[in-house]
């Protein structure tokens, strides 16, 4: 055929785009945001995050997003929102229109503008509604806690990623092919982005590191943008999972950080040079008191870390007897050996003892 019309023919094959799931964890610590209120209010930060979400969804129709809030005493879903419970008459559970005398198809006052993409408007409405409920449910007792439940939010994000990947695998696999978690994750490009404003809580070190190692095993990078505070554990999380960690020098430029440093997913970053943090704080928290330590004692069986020797030299986690060697023993003091003095007989018969000095005592001329 090519010889007849002198044209080249190519086989055109269509490939479906690999979906990219972006899970965003927002640190909603009330005390931290109150300190940042003059520089960057929480409402403006949420608006910048929504612009970042819209940009991610605009890259491909297959892209997905999930947003979580790490609050002072709990981790909360912001989007997707929980479905509304069924009403007493069961109208919400069925597809029938409730005969209440009100036109169900009439436009509501809260209807989104025609100039806004419907999916963007839906996400914005769900996030703002969930944030409003979270703020209204915050009591004075919740303000006493200065930390956030970051480990719980990471666990929710990982569970949602795993559920999404399995559902995607169920949709695309053949009926007689067994389900595999590793193959499901390979069909989904997932990553976690954390917007942090609080210090790392030593009490949550174990649970946070468990979530980080689970993300590293599933090849899910964890990106972190710290607006304030000392995010020690999040530096380690980004380093272990091959993510990006940045300490924002100017929180006012939040949108610039999001669009220029975190818009690319893991596949696109292989062709780019992402920003890196020049130092990583690898300090760990002890299992006995929850303090961040520079040096400590590590159990050789369960790798538990202790800031001081436990009572009885036994590991508080597994009960193994710690082998401390000669730690704590007083060093042996060896007396210095005295040098023997040399005796020299002078011409007048007197004996002089030499102390080993380089030169003798000078005499007046």
Q: How many Å apart are CA 112 and CA 109, to the nearest integer?
A: 9
Q: Which domains does the chain have, with CATH numbers?
A: 20-82+117-170+186-281 (3.40.50.410), 283-325 (no CATH)
Residue 16: which of 172, 135, 150 has the closest Cα? Answer: 172
Q: How many Å apart are CA 225 and CA 198, to the nearest integer?
A: 11
Q: Cβ distance 274 to 264 under 8 Å? A: yes
| CA distances, 259 to each of 4, 188, 253, 293 (Å) | 52, 22, 10, 36
What pLDDT does 186 receive? 61
Beta strand pairing status for 305-306 and 297-298? antiparallel
CB atoms within 10 A of CB 47: 15
Q: Cβ distance 287 to 316 under 8 Å? A: yes
Whole-model pTM over 0.85: no
- 110: CB partners within 8 A, 6+ apart: 125
Q: How many Å apart are CA 363 and CA 360, to the nearest integer?
A: 9
| CA distances, 129 to each of 52, 96, 110, 126, 200 (Å) | 18, 26, 12, 5, 28
Quickly list DSSP for 134-161. Answer: HHHH--HHHHT--S--HHHHHHHHHHHH
Beta strand pairing status for 189-196 and 222-226? parallel
Residue 201: which of 239, 149, 253 has the closest Cα? Answer: 149
Helix axis angle, 205-217 relative to 150-172, nearest 10°? 20
Residue 282: which of 229, 228, 240, 241 has the closest Cα? Answer: 240
| CA distances, 80 to each of 23, 129, 148 (Å) | 11, 11, 21
Q: How many Å apart are CA 304 and CA 298, to the nearest integer?
A: 5
What pLDDT does 92 receive? 47
What pLDDT does 321 receive? 84
CB atoms within 10 A of CB 33: 19
Residue matched to tokens 């910048």: 48
Q: Cβ distance 165 to 185 under 8 Å? A: yes
**140-188 residue pLDDT tens:** 887 877 778 899 999 999 999 999 999 887 776 655 555 555 555 567 8
Residue 123: which of 191, 195, 193, 53 has the closest Cα? Answer: 53
- Quick check: helix, strand or coil at residue 301? coil
Q: Cβ distance 320 to 308 under 8 Å? A: no
| CA distances, 316 to each of 226, 310, 313, 337 (Å) | 34, 7, 9, 46
Across the chain, which has 365 residues, the per-10-residue mean pLDDT values are 55 66 95 92 95 94 94 91 58 48 44 76 92 90 81 95 88 57 67 94 86 94 93 91 92 95 87 78 80 83 83 83 72 72 69 61 66
What pLDDT does 128 receive? 93
What pLDDT does 91 receive? 45
Residue 187: which of 64, 65, 19, 63 has the closest Cα? Answer: 19
8-state DSSP, 321: B
- Quick check: helix, strand or coil at residue 18? coil
Residue matched to tokens 């009572």: 311
Rg of the chain in Å (alpha carbons):
33
């Amino acid at each position: 055929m090519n010889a007849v019309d002198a044209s080249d023919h190519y086989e055109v094959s269509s490939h479906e785009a690999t979906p990219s799931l972006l899970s965003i964890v927002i640190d909603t610590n009330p005390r931290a945001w109150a300190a940042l209120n003059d520089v960057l209010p929480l409402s403006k930060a949420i608006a910048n995050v929504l612009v970042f979400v819209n940009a991610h969804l605009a890259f491909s129709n297959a892209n997905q997003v999930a947003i979580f809030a790490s609050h002072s005493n709990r981790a909360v879903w912001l989007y997707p929102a929980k479905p509304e419970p069924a009403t007493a008459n069961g109208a919400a559970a069925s597809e029938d229109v409730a005969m209440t005398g009100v036109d169900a198809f009439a436009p509501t006052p809260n209807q989104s503008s025609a100039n806004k993409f419907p999916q963007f408007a839906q996400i914005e409405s769900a996030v703002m509604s969930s944030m409003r409920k979270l703020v209204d449910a915050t009591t004075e007792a919740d303000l006493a806690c200065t930390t956030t439940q970051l480990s719980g939010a990471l666990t929710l994000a990982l569970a949602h990623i795993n559920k999404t990947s399995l559902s995607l695998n169920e949709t695309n696999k053949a009926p007689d092919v067994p389900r595999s978690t590793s193959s499901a994750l390979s069909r989904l490009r997932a990553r976690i982005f954390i917007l942090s404003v609080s210090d790392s809580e030593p009490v949550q070190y174990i649970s946070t590191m468990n979530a980080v190692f689970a993300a590293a095993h599933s090849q899910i990078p964890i990106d972190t943008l710290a607006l304030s505070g000392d995010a020690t554990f999040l530096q380690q999380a980004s380093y272990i999972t091959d993510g990006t960690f940045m300490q924002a020098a100017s929180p006012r430029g939040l949108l610039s950080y999001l669009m220029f440093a975190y818009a690319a997913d893991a596949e696109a970053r292989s062709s780019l040079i992402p920003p890196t943090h020049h130092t990583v704080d690898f300090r760990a928290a002890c299992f006995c008191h929850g303090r961040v330590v520079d040096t400590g004692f590590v159990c050789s069986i369960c790798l538990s870390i202790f800031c001081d020797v436990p009572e009885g030299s036994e590991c508080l986690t597994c009960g193994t007897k710690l082998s401390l060697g000669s730690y704590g023993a007083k060093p042996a003091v060896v007396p210095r050996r005295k040098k023997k003095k040399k005796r020299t007989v002078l011409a007048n018969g007197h004996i002089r003892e030499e102390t080993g000095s380089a030169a003798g005592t000078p005499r007046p001329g």
